[in-house]
Amino acid sequence: MPLVPGGAARGPRQRVCYAAHRGRYAAAARADRPAVAVTTRRTVAGMHVEGGQKYRLAFPRAKGEDLDQDEAYFLLSEAGEQTRIRFHDYREIYRRQGLYEHLFYDRLKCSSPMKVAKILESAVSQSDTHFTELRVLDLGAGNGIMGEELSKVGVSRLIGIDIIPEAEHAMYRDRPRVYDDYYTVDLTAMSAEVREDITSWSLNTLCVVAALGFGDIPAQAFIEGVNLIDTPGWIAFNIKETFLDRRDTTGFSKALRELILSEYIDVYHMERYRHRLSIDGEPLFYFAISGRKKADIPPGFLDSIGAST
């Protein structure tokens, strides 16, 4: 039985809290109080000031070329102590309000949410659909930066998903009015109840920004995301350029390459761009890709291409 009567008719801010922590964060978001983060942000000579928090961070002295992107780290000075935090230790980063923005946006000049929103607009503009009709699933949503970007352009519904509760907590703390609902869930181990609840939003668009590869969202979770949206639907994501290189023989790369060229997705727009800088100031190039979902991806897809992970 659907958790929300009416399914697709479900409107914004109707929340179904089946886990205690979701109820707590949702209640905080519903409370009529001003958003804290975005309005109080400024940067002063290497120090980020956001919501009253100050951060002083440094990158390691040695060149970091031999570190994989997910192994890169920075040194955070707090109360006279220096802590080493990996870029992919999102739990530690989200716990500190404004640190994610300072690290990736102020220092490393990340441009991906804006770029992916733009190429989604580019794809949708090639059809009769209006951008405002989009009902978006933001997978790997973190503390809501992509959601904020999409809400500036205006979409009909916006649902966030992330795998760690710290992301949901940070989103309700930093951008409480951006999403209609937010789920902390592993899409590869989703209960029937959660699947039904997400499906009741009648989502028609999947966005995945800065969250594919490097031990983040695996191919199977991406496929689950594609299958959670309607057919036809819209898809927009970014991926490091090396993942599309045939010399990368990992199951993840193979799966992404095959999917892009498959009968399940029509690519409308693909663009190489600078995602952000590395800690050594080198540009990191990604592809932003948008297109149309043509059909659900069948359960045996990864096995059929020899890419099960």
Binding site for ligand SAM (CB under 6 A): 90, 112-113, 139-142, 145-146, 161-164, 167, 186-187, 209-211, 216-217, 221
The nearest distance, CB 156 to ligand SAM, in angstroms, is: 20
The nearest distance, CB 79 to ligand SAM, in angstroms, is: 26
Residue pair 170/142 in contact (Cβ under 8 Å)? The answer is yes
The nearest distance, CB 236 to ligand SAM, in angstroms, is: 12
Structure tokens at 178: 């951006």
The nearest distance, CB 70 to ligand SAM, in angstroms, is: 10
Residue with structure tokens 């790369």?
253
> Quick one: 123 or 211, whose CB is closer to ligand SAM?
211
> Quick one: 146 or 247, whose CB is closer to ligand SAM?
146
User: Three-class SS of residue 48?
Assistant: strand
> Quick one: 176 or 261, whose CB is closer to ligand SAM?
176
Question: What gap in Å lies between CA 20 and CA 72, rounded to an integer?
Answer: 34
> Quick one: 186 or 196, whose CB is closer to ligand SAM?
186
Residue pair 205/229 in contact (Cβ under 8 Å)? The answer is yes
User: Three-class SS of residue 10?
Assistant: coil
Question: What gap in Å lies between CA 295 and CA 303, rounded to an integer?
Answer: 18
The nearest distance, CB 6 to ligand SAM, in angstroms, is: 27
> Quick one: 177 or 266, whose CB is closer to ligand SAM?
177
CA angle 197, 155, 159 (to 5 degrees): 25
Structure tokens at 31: 């409370």
> In this chain, which residue has its C-beta nearest to ligand SAM?
142
